[in-house]
Amino acid sequence: MKNITFNQVLEEEKKSLIYKPITKEQSLGKTVKEIKSFKTDNFMYSVISVIIFTDNTALFLNENQDCVTDFSCLTASYEDRQTGEIIVYIGQEGGDMIENGLCDEAILKESLKYIKAYRESQRDANKAKEIKALKEKLKALEE
């Protein structure tokens, strides 16, 4: 997987959502199937209320009653400083969404390969820049 963009990562994560997020305006006139509410430590740092409609859409609201349609924090990653390996995992927010029946764990796990490819390309690009800068510095010292 080459040239993965962060937007592609987000799109892959979004596929794991069981209910399609909608805005308040889009929810008008829809029939409510279920309401869920839960606290999550990192996801918008708040209590999340989810109004699920019969057409498999959902209105996600944070504790300020602001509509949440962007889910950019379901997975997470870091670079192991010793090995340089990119470690990816389902983040706290993703776990909370899975636990509350709002996210498909298998699909979210599958999306991990996209964030890994994205982070690896970032790491490799940064290393290439470092090598180029060192070569230029060496060349300047040789002259």
Q: What's the CA gap between 35 and 20, in Å, rounded? A: 15
> Would you say residue 68 has pLDDT above 70?
yes
Q: pLDDT of 96-114, one tens digit each? A: 899 999 999 999 999 999 9
What domain range includes position 95?
Answer: 6-142
Q: pLDDT-derived band of residue 116, with 50, 70 and 90 as boundaries?
A: very high
Quick one: tokens of 24? Answer: 């308040």
Q: How many domains does the chain have?
A: 1
1 inside domain = no
57 inside domain = yes
Q: What is the DSSP string of the chain?
A: --S--HHHHHHHHHTTBSSEE--HHHHTTPPEEEEEEEE-SSGGGSEEEEEEETTSEEEEE-TT--B------SEEEEE-TTT-PEEEEE-HHHHHHHHTTSB-HHHHHHHHHHHHHHHHHHHHHHHHHHHHHHHHHHHHHH-
Q: pLDDT of 34-49, one tens digit each? A: 999 888 766 555 778 8
pTM here is 0.78
> Would you say residue 92 has pLDDT above 60?
yes
> Would you say residue 1 has pLDDT above 80?
no
**pLDDT at residue 72 in the model:** 72
53 inside domain = yes
